[in-house]
């Protein structure tokens, strides 16, 4: 279902983004791998995949960079069929530090909410000319339950991204524009870092979710094989958080 389709995956140099790029490419897609700073890793992934790949670098915290990333990605093959908003970071917002609090909220807003929102907007405008398209936004279990006291802004931003996804699905479904969210829990990525043994022991499966598990869901949703799931959120937490 993805043969001939062009997909952009943000934050594709590692973790969920890299695994998603691999899975989407396996399904026949032409994949634009976006990266921020880790050029070597992004290039290694592109080299591993071989043909049907392109690299785009950009700091998504900056509005002008977001526009450039999208422009370069669409120029590769004349448009984008699937947007996977994966790039993000677990940024603190320290309550007891005035500067840290403001900086944390601003940083989370720019990277974890406004950047994917801007890319969603560009995708919708482009999809209208192509007869439709798919958006998959990577949120977090924090979007449902909130995050810890040091990461209030992160949870709020991910909650906003979840609401945005639902709004897009409801508002643009008649134009064949589909939008889904995936909400992982602890995933074996750099963002999660080394988990405390007590946390690991409390996970129902006794292990952290591999990024490939998240990637398989993203690839399925991107394929459009379940159109009427648009607006849905798929939790991928190994039953650590169950709604």
How far apart CA 214 and CA 231 sit, in angstroms, is 17
Backbone angles phi, psi at 133, to 5 degrees: 175, 180
**Read out DSSP for 69-117?**
HHHHHHHHHT--SEEEE---------TT-HHHHHHHHHHHIIIIIIHHH
Backbone angles phi, psi at 104, to 5 degrees: -65, -45
Catalytic residue check, 154: yes
Backbone angles phi, psi at 50, to 5 degrees: 85, -125
Handedness of CA 135, 139, 143, 149 (dihedral sign): negative
Please tell me which residue in 35, 109, 154, 241 is annotated as part of the active site: 154
Catalytic residues, which ones?
Answer: 154
């Amino acid at each position: 279902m993805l043969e001939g389709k062009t997909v952009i995956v943000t934050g594709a140099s590692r973790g969920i983004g890299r695994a998603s790029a691999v899975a989407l490419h396996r399904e026949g897609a032409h994949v634009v791998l976006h990266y921020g700073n880790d050029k070597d890793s992004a290039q290694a992934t592109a080299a591993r995949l071989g043909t049907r790949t392109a690299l785009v670098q950009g700091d998504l915290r900056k509005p002008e960079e977001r526009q450039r990333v999208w422009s370069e990605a669409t120029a590769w093959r004349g448009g984008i069929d699937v947007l996977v908003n994966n790039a993000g970071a677990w940024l603190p917002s320290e309550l007891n530090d005035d500067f840290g609090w403001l900086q944390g909220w601003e940083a989370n807003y720019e990277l974890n909410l406004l950047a994917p929102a801007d890319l969603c907007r560009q995708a919708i405008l482009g999809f209208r000319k192509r007869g439709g398209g798919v958006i998959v936004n990577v949120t977090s279990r924090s979007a449902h339950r909130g995050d810890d006291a040091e990461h209030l802004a992160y949870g709020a931003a991910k909650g906003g991204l979840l609401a945005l996804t639902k709004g897009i699905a409801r508002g643009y479904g008649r134009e064949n524009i589909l939008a889904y969210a995936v909400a992982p829990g602890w995933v074996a990525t750099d963002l999660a870092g080394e988990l405390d043994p007590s946390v690991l022991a409390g996970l129902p499966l006794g292990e952290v979710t591999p990024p490939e598990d998240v990637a398989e869901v993203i690839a399925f949703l991107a394929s459009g094989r379940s159109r009427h799931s648009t607006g849905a959120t798929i939790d991928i937490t190994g039953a650590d958080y169950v709604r």
